A and B are shown apart, each in its own frame.
Chain A
Amino acid sequence: MLDYITSYLKSDTTPGQAGNFLWAFIYILLIFLGLSVAVIAMNWLERKILAHMQVRLGPMRVGPHGLLQPIADALKLLIKEDIMPAEADPVVFWIAPLIVVITAFTVFIVVPFGPTHAVTDMNIGVLFMLGVSSLSVLGIVTAGWASNSHYPLIGALRSSAQMVSYEIAMGLAVVSAILMTSLNTDGTGTLSMIGIVQAQQAQETWFIFKFFPLGLIAFFVFAVAMVAETNRAPFDLPEAESELTAGFHTEYSGFRWSLFFLAEYSAMIAVSSIAVTLWLGGWMRPFPHWLTGDTWDLVFSLFPGVTFVLLALMTFYSTIRMPKHPYFRVQTIGLAGFGAVLGLIGLVLFAPPVRDRVQDIYWFAIKVAGFMYLYIWYRGTFPRYRFDQLMRVGWKVLLPIGLGVLIVTGILGVLL
């Protein structure tokens, strides 16, 4: 058994390619688990960060600093009364959130958390991701339709129009990044997610800095389009609260609503991972070709552990600052325990075998987390676009820019 595990750990291919179903299954479970944890953490972080941007505290009551709030919310949603509008189409009403959530999770099959840390590596990886994630529009349209109500219908129509138009700009930006992968000696590019990162490794640059500022512009187009694609502020028209109450999921509540919620956040993580893979060097650590040598390798490999230890220290600091009243005793102990767990994880991450295995995942996750922070930041800062303005930005600004970047990248690729 142990031999089996160690033999796997030494392998240099993904379980999908190796044809190992057991490992693939374990990977899927791990990703599903990690994603759920990420969504829960994201939920808490979004509320806290947004709250602090808006001079308020955010959740503070359920658990220390509201740490248990997402869990309490999830529980509440699960045990809530199951409401289905009388006029709704019951079958489609059920299928819609399932479509959305399944597509949101399926794309993670090809996300490369490391050179071997992916369920599988397809030679059409990027296409698969874009294709599957755009299927979620189907779920949204059916949700709006099945609700048989005006607001959801308008929300669904807006959403489909928006997602379809931004996909084009997004696709163009992606193509220009893929063109860059072919800039090697034998001139063959790749659509494989792992291959794209390896191309960046081989060319010794992140694609965001390639042909400066071309890569940056393409990245910018993608970064805007992906916010629109995931229906987040300032492009959150489909669920524009002040106009359409809650857009396509107005009639949804309880468990089905939580599926939409889950899907929204995992879609955010999914598109962010595309951006990270295509432009920000995927799992590569910063400056892999500049700060080389064993010393630098060691320094960068300590980052995961240091991060967790810092988080633990932050938690301990908050523990000290907890009110001394006996009412808060349980919460204080809980917070200290949480800090201890974080610290323990940090210490485990310092161990050499773990540290080498985890590095890739850490760098990938930290880059995605940066995008998540951006999402929250946008939401705290921007007003919402109007529908016609949104379309104008998509078709008249991003599309020409994306097309221009693609053409110039192509020309440069041939010339250089």
Chain B
Amino acid sequence: MTDRSSPLELEQADKTFLDSNELIINMGPQHPATHGVLRVILKLDGEKVLGTECVIGYLHRGVEKIAENRTYTMFNPYVDRMDYVAAVSNGLGYCEAVEKLLNVEAPPRAKYIRVILTELNRLASHMLWLGTHALDIGAITPLFYTFRDREEVLKIFEKYCGARLTTHAFRIGGCQYETYEGFEEDVKKFLKFVTPKIDEYEELLTTNRIWVERTRGVGFLSAADCKALGVTGPVLRASGVKWDLRKAQPYAAYSDFDFEIPTGQKGDTYDRYIVRMQEMRQSLRIIKQAVGKIPDGPIMAKVPKVMKPPVGEIYHSIEAPKGELGYFIVSDGSTQPYRVRVRPPSFVNLQALDQMVRGQLVADVIAVIGTLDIVLGEVDR
């Protein structure tokens, strides 16, 4: 975007300390507010940010390379480890991509279960985002409230598939597990439980003067900038672009449900907060519709035991809680993918950081990192 000398020349830091007003400080990789192991090099003039540089890769595990040495089925659990707070969404994206490649379709019952679990996961992810974002801005209490309620989602996951975070809930061709006895009641009970809780979070923050002052006008990103940078998800929608893959390219069973895409107008941190809060309510709406009419039938489509997709390539993307999560899979006709490329929303959204914080204050960097809702497992893969 704009030219600047590489901040990696850290010898500069010694020189600038007294000789000029510029101060280069290193935020992370161990820092309470960088949501993991993100390292941000900040160039400051007093409290004002002159420029930033993100250094990533501290959590790189070579997930894409691992895929080339695993069969399609064996790679499935690995995707859960990318965005570990929204593992179900990752699994859904991968399974659907491979299904497309294999030319099979999951049965309707499986699709409904997928929608319910994915939306529950979106709630869990947004709750975690809200808690940590509020914590970064200094409100410590919402963190515990959201974690308390996220626990209920994780309990449902645990009952369904035995795992809480890295669920591996779906299989290629459908779902491995039938819903457990009382699944629908649990989900309904959760819906009833969580609706007032979301009001509670809003009560704590939405009209809180300090919260509004800290988030209004901070980290502004226009719709044009969003498109230029490839930013997706709630960040894009808060800038006023009505783009949600659940509506734009419906996958799973999303076309069956009635829901709205919340958008903001200004594209600042407060709008992104409001959009995500409304998205949580919309998720509840989707789950409410889905849980009432899960169709009967099989949960697995007919897939070959040894998967050998035809030679070809596929790009399939879904609306993960953080934005567009895409899988590009190239098959050479063998049991293992020739190449898997993941388009992680966090990674793409993170590149907007510099533009959003330039000229603002140090405290805003923290707010913006929080509002981008990045997960470093997904950024580094």
A: residues with CB less than 8 A from B are 50, 53-56, 150-151, 154, 158, 233-234, 236-237, 240-245, 379-389
- Distance between B134 CB and nearest chain A CB, rounded to angstroms: 7
Whether the pair A54, B144 counts as a contact (CB closer than 8 A) is: yes
Instruction: Write out the residue numbers on chain B whose beta carbons fall within 8 Å of the beta carbon of A386.
Output: 213-214, 361, 363-364
Q: Which residue of B lies closest to A51 (CB)?
A: B144
Which B residues lie within 8 Å of A242 (CB)?
32-33, 135-138, 366
The interface centre, meaning the residue of A158, A245, A380, A382 with most chain B CB atoms within 10 A of its CB, is: A382
Tell whether, in the assembled complex, residue B362 and residue A383 are in contact, meaning their CB atoms are under 8 Å apart.
Answer: no
Contact of B138 among A54, A151, A154, A233 (CB under 8 A): A233
How far apart sit A414 and B109, CA to CA, in the bound complex (Å)? 83
B47 on the A face (CB < 8 A): yes
Interfacial chain B residues near A244, Cβ < 8 Å:
362
Closest beta carbon of chain A to B152's beta carbon, Å: 13
Contact mask for chain B residues 167-205; partner A; CB cutoff 8 A; 1 contact, 0 none: 000000000000000000000000000000000000011
Q: What B residues does A379 contact at CB under 8 A?
A: 140
Separation of A382 and B208 alpha carbons in the complex (Å):
8
- B141 to chain A: which residues have CB within 8 Å? 53-54, 380-381
- Chain A residues positioned under 8 Å from B23 (CB to CB): 150, 154
Chain A residues within an 8 Å CB radius of B364: 386
When C-beta atoms are compared, the residue in chain B nearest to A379 turns out to be: B140
* Contact pick for B361, options A234, A241, A388, CB 8 Å: A388
Residue B15, interface by CB 8 Å = no
Contacts known (A54-B140, A151-B25); A385 close to B214, Cβ less than 8 A: yes
Let me know if A380 and B213 touch, CB within 8 A.
Answer: no
- B311 at the A/B interface (Cβ < 8 Å)? no
Residue interface bits B347-371, CB-to-A below 8 A is 1, else 0: 0000000000000011111100000
Asked if residues B137 and A383 are in contact (CB atoms below 8 Å), the reply is yes
Q: Is B145 at the interface (CB under 8 A from chain A)?
A: yes
Min distance, Cβ B169 to any Cβ of chain A, angstroms: 28
Known: A243-B366, A245-B31. A384 touches B361 (CB 8 A): no
B131 CB → nearest A CB, Å:
11
Contacting pair B144 A385 (CB below 8 A): no
Residues on the A chain within 8 Å of B362, using CB: 154, 243-244, 387
Question: Considering only CB atoms, which chain B residue lies closest to A149 in the complex?
Answer: B25
A383 touches B25 (CB 8 A): no
**Which chain A residue has the least Cβ–Cβ distance from B211?**
A383
How far, in whole Å, are A382 and B363 apart by their CA atoms in the complex?
16
Residue in chain B with minimal CB distance to A384: B138
Determine whether B210 belongs to the interface, using a CB cutoff of 8 Å to chain A. Answer: yes
Which chain B residues lie closer than 8 Å to A389 at the CB level?
Answer: 210, 213-214
Whether the Cβ atoms of B140 and A385 lie closer than 8 Å is no
Q: Which residue of B lies closest to A386 (CB)?
A: B363
Query: Is residue B148 within 8 Å, beta carbon to beta carbon, of the partner chain?
Result: yes
Q: Are B144 and A383 in contact (CB under 8 A)?
A: no
Indicate the size class of the contact surface on chain B. Answer: 20 to 34
CB distance from B272 to the nearest CB of A (A): 16
Q: Is the CB of B144 within 8 A of A384?
A: no
Interface check B261, CB cutoff 8 A: no
Smallest CB–CB gap between B345 and chain A, Å? 23
Say whether B140 contacts A240, CB under 8 Å: no
Shortest distance in angstroms between B8's beta carbon and chain A's nearest beta carbon? 17
B139 in the interface, Cβ–Cβ < 8 Å? yes
Do B138 and A55 touch across chains, with their CB atoms under 8 A apart? no
B123-165: CB near A (< 8 Å → 1, else 0) gives 0000000000011111111011100100000000000000000
State A242–B145 Cα separation when bound (angstroms).
Answer: 19
- Chain A residues within an 8 Å CB radius of B31: 245
Residues of B within 8 A of A151 (CB): 25
Contacts of B139 in A (CB 8 A): 381-384
Chain A residues near B204 (CB-CB < 8 A): 381
Interface pairs (14), CB distance under 8 Å:
A53-B141, A54-B145, A240-B363, A241-B32, A242-B135, A242-B136, A243-B363, A381-B139, A381-B141, A381-B204, A384-B139, A385-B213, A388-B47, A389-B213
* Distance between Cα atoms of A55 and B146 in the complex (Å): 11
Q: How far is the CA of A240 from the CA of B136 in the complex (A)?
A: 9
Complex contact A56–B213 (CB within 8 A): no
Knowing that A242-B366, A243-B362, A383-B137 touch, tell me 13 more A-B residue pairs with CB under 8 angstroms.
A50-B140, A54-B141, A54-B144, A54-B145, A56-B144, A236-B138, A242-B32, A384-B139, A384-B363, A385-B210, A388-B361, A389-B210, A389-B213
Output the nearest chain B residue to A382 by Cβ-Cβ distance. B210
> Are the CB atoms of A384 and B210 closer together than 8 Å?
yes
Specify which of B140, B365, B366 lies most central, judged by the most chain A CB atoms within 10 Å of its CB: B140
> Are B32 and A55 in touch, CB under 8 angstroms?
no
Chain B 16-37 interface 0/1 with A at a Cβ cutoff of 8 Å (1 = within) = 0000000101100001110000
Given A55-B144, A55-B145, A243-B362, verify A384-B214 contact (CB < 8 Å): yes
* Residue in contact with B32 in the complex, picked from A56, A245, A384, A387, CB distance below 8 Å: A245
In the assembled complex, how far is the CB of residue A59 from the closest CB belonging to chain B, in whole angstroms?
Answer: 15
Q: Give min CB distance, B129 to chain A, whole Å.
A: 15
Interface pair B47/A387, CB less than 8 Å apart:
yes
Interfacial chain B residues near A234, Cβ < 8 Å: 138, 210
- Neighbouring A residues of B47 by C-beta, 8 Å: 154, 158, 387-388
Return A253 CB to nearest CB of chain B, in Å.
16
In the complex, what's the smallest C-beta–C-beta distance from A190 to chain B, in angstroms? 38
Taking A54-B145, A243-B363, A245-B31 as contacts, is the C-beta distance between A384 and B137 under 8 angstroms?
A: yes
For the complex, give the distance between the alpha carbons of A240 and B32 in Å.
10
Q: Check B33–A243 contact: CB distance below 8 A.
A: yes
Which of B134, B137, B361 meets A387, CB within 8 Å? B361
Could you say which residues of chain A place their CB within 8 Å of the CB of B366? 242-243
- Point out the residues of chain A lying under 8 angstroms from B210, CB to CB: 234, 382-385, 389
Contacting residues, chain B, for A54 (C-beta < 8 A): 140-141, 143-145
Closest to A389 in B: B213
Q: What residues of chain B lie closer than 8 Å to A383, measured between beta carbons?
A: 134, 137-139, 205, 208, 210-211, 214
B276 CB to closest chain A CB (Å) equals 16
Q: How far is the CA of A386 from the CA of B32 in the complex (A)?
A: 17
Residues of A with C-beta under 8 A to B137: 242, 383-384
Residues of A within 8 A of B148 (CB): 55
Which residue of chain A has the shortest Cβ distance to B23 in the bound complex? Answer: A150
**Hey, which chain A residues are within 8 Å of B134, CB to CB?**
383
Q: Give min CB distance, B377 to chain A, whole Å.
A: 20
* Distance (whole angstroms) from the CB of A241 to the closest CB of chain B: 6
Min CB distance, A383 to chain B, in Å? 4
B146 to chain A, nearest CB (A): 11
Residues of B close to A387: CB separation below 8 A: 47, 361-363
Task: Give the complex CA separation of A245 and B32 in angstroms.
Answer: 7
CA distance A50 to B137 in the complex (A): 18
Within the assembled complex, what's the spacing in Å between the Cα atoms of A294 and B37?
68
- Across the A-B interface, give the 6 residue pairs with the lowest CB-CB distance, nearest first: A384-B138, A242-B33, A54-B144, A383-B139, A383-B138, A150-B25
A39 to B231, CA, bound (A): 49
CB-CB nearest in chain B for A53: B141
Chain B residues with CB under 8 Å of A385's CB are: 138, 210, 213-214
